[in-house]
Structure formats: C-alpha cells, structure tokens
Amino acid sequence: MVRGAFARFVHDHHFEPTSSATIVRDVLDYSAPFGPISRLVERAYLDSYLTAFLSQRAYALKRLAETGHYSSSLPVSSGSTWPLPAASMPAFE
C-alpha cells in the first residue's frame, strides 16, 4: 500500500496446484492507524471483519471460476475474445 487508511497493508496471493485443483491463499499483513491502541482495535474488530471479507471474496471468485461466468465479468481488451462485461456480476446463493 502506498497510501490509505491503514498504517501498513500488504495483501499477497499464493497459488498451490494439486492433482485436482489449485489452492489459493490470501496472506494479509496490516496495522491499524490508531497509535498505541491499534492492536486492540485490530483484535476487537478488524481481524474478524477482514477475515470475513476475504472469505466472501474467495467464495465469489471460486464460484465465478467454477461456473464459467467469469468471462462476462472481465473487461474487453484489443484482440480479446471475451464478450462485453456484464452490467453486474452474477449473484450466487
């Protein structure tokens, strides 16, 4: 992160192929910008919020990849064979 609401925010993705799938791990390293009380705020709120956020995002990406709906969510670049982007991403239940 160059600039933003957090004192430190690093988000990495790690991909591990297996015989039947690819395991994707999100690794998040962050610090809240609240001085001495930062760790308290992180434990009380941010840890669970960011874990839930990344879990929901991973679920949505997994569903897009497995259903083939991802092609309607990607932007079109010159020479691309993808269709035009959908007005919104598909809803999954």
Q: What is the rounded radius of gyration, in angstroms, for the C-alpha atoms of the chain?
A: 17
Higher-confidence position of 39 and 80:
39
Q: Is the pLDDT of residue 71 over 80?
A: no
Residue-wise pLDDT for 34-55, tens only, equals: 888 888 888 888 899 999 998 9
Domain ranges of the chain: 16-69
* Rounded distance between C-alpha atoms, residue 81 and residue 79, angstroms: 7
Nearest Cα to 27, choosing from 14, 40, 42, 37? 14
pTM across the whole model: 0.61
Q: Is the pLDDT of residue 13 over 70?
A: yes
Q: Which amino acid is at 53?
A: F
